[in-house]
Amino acid sequence: MNTTELRVDTSRRRVADLTSEVAGWCQGRGDGLLNVLAPHATAGLALMETGSGSEPDLEQLLDRLLPRDHRYHHQHGSPGHGADHLLPVLVSPSLTLPVSGGRLQLGTWQSLVLVDLNADNPSRRVRLSFLAG
Amino acid sequence: MNTTELRVDTSRRRVADLTSEVAGWCQGRGDGLLNVLAPHATAGLALMETGSGSEPDLEQLLDRLLPRDHRYHHQHGSPGHGADHLLPVLVSPSLTLPVSGGRLQLGTWQSLVLVDLNADNPSRRVRLSFLAG
Amino acid sequence: MNTTELRVDTSRRRVADLTSEVAGWCQGRGDGLLNVLAPHATAGLALMETGSGSEPDLEQLLDRLLPRDHRYHHQHGSPGHGADHLLPVLVSPSLTLPVSGGRLQLGTWQSLVLVDLNADNPSRRVRLSFLAG
């Protein structure tokens, strides 16, 4: 199994497109399964179209589903931070993708994104684990 | 790694049960992990019981969580199509399942379904990637 | 591929932390991918921080998203049980995690939990499948 860890700066974006970086790392690795893991308790990974307006749509959806108010038992950090801790239950931080001939197998309109609503910690890691087959 | 691609017609159903077709493809392949990927930006995959009313329940849930109205920045396609583009964030289009002795390991009441609310494109593909172990 | 099945008693908890048991089973297995599957139609698996209030926050979130009332077509079991059947669409019962040198690769604040709102069946199974690489 081959592994690496990416660094992602989320200080200026809540939805960060990782597609080209991840696809680049897969090049030359042949066939196998790639696991992508964000080892954080307030971030998730998703496959979605980027660049056509869905990023702000996603932020609004998450604000509706996970309002940043005082309802939460989890009360560390900024007000509403309890919402951030529920994000990874709805948007899992683990995602597995097929790789064929060193090419990450995504659809034409699919991008791999890190979703991170938590403004308190802008320095994120993403772990890639490739199992050849 | 062994791969294939299924074709799924979603013109008359928003929740399509893929279980028997996927399980059939796994037969004779021994032990390993199967990745299932819907390479589309407006579809997801889920494990759920089918045939007991949960399909229309799921459609109503998604209509509540993702209303088909004019709130979305993503405005290509039919009115409300922006909702379809958020579906795969909540219902991931990638799912990995264990296979043992050529048998897809699902619980008695679990079926593998493709969820696709987008009526504009009824021709869908699902990619299967089997990594033996 | 190595497999085992855990038994989980959910009679007194709706969010059960499986981390130490799963990590223990991975010890000594080297590098690979671990698939975790809850073979049930009303349970899901998630990565989240435990012990800081997010468990009751999650129960409240799911009660909001999936109200236990009479709206559901799926009407077997206790009143509102139709809600339980939608849980695995939002919180998938399949999760894949990397293992490196026999260590389950989770972030410091991540725990692996079984989410099960269904009080009718307190005896749950979780299947572990490890593919070495």
Mean pLDDT across C103-120: 94
In tens, the pLDDT along A40-64 reads 999 999 999 999 999 999 999 999 9
**pLDDT at residue C75 in the model:** 85
Q: How far apart are the first and last CA of chain B?
A: 10
What pLDDT does residue C68 have? 92
Tally of CB atoms within 10 A around A24: 10
**CA B69/CA A48 separation, integer angstroms:** 19
The answer, yes or no, to whether residue C63 has pLDDT greater than 90, is yes
pLDDT class of A81 with cuts at 50, 70, 90: very high
d(CA A74, CA A80): 9
* Cross-chain Cβ contact B41/A105 below 8 Å: no
Question: Which ipTM was obtained for this model?
Answer: 0.96
Confidence of residue C72 (pLDDT cuts 50, 70, 90): very high
pLDDT at C121: 83
The two structure tokens encoding residue C88: 């695995």
Phi first, then psi: what are they for A37, rounded to 5°?
-135, 125
Residue C76 has pLDDT above 90, yes or no: no
Q: 3-state class of B121 per DSSP?
A: coil
| pLDDT exceeds 90 at position C12 | no
Residue C36 Cα, gap to closest chain A Cα (Å):
12
Instruction: State residue A45's pLDDT score.
Output: 98
CATH class of B2-50+88-132: mainly beta
C-contacting residues in B 14-73 (Cβ below 8 Å): 31-33, 46-49, 52-54, 56-58, 60-61, 65
CA-nearest residue of chain C to B133? C1
Q: Do C1 and B33 touch (CB under 8 A)?
A: yes
Chain B residues close to C35, C-beta within 8 Å: 33, 96-98
- Residues of C within 8 A of B56 (CB-CB) are 73
The token pair at A24 is 């680049």
Q: Does C90 contact B90 at a Cβ distance shorter than 8 Å?
A: yes
Tell me, what's the pLDDT at C55?
A: 97
Chains adjacent to C (≥3 CB pairs closer than 8 angstroms): A, B
- pLDDT band of residue C46 (cuts 50, 70, 90) is very high
Question: Hey, is C115 helix, strand or coil?
Answer: strand
Contacts of C42 (CB under 8 A, 6+ apart): C81, C84, C85, C87, C88, C116, C117, C118, C121
- B-facing residues of A in 89-128 (CB < 8 A) are 90-92, 95-98, 100, 105-110, 115
Closest-CA residue of B relative to A131 is B131
Assigned superfamily of C2-132: YjbQ-like (2.60.120.460)
Answer whether A53 sits within 8 Å of B71, measured CB to CB.
no
Beta bridge partners of B112: B47
Beta-sheet strands, E only, within A18-121: 32-37, 43-48, 94-100, 103-104, 111-116
The string of pLDDT tens digits covering residues B114-132 is 999 887 888 999 999 999 9
Do C35 and B91 lie within an 8 Å CB cutoff? no
Domain coordinates of chain C in residue numbers?
A: 2-132
Of A27 and C117, more confident: A27
pLDDT category at C129 given cuts 50, 70, 90 is very high
- The ranges of chain B with pLDDT < 50 are none
Nearest CA distance, C80 vs chain B (angstrom): 12
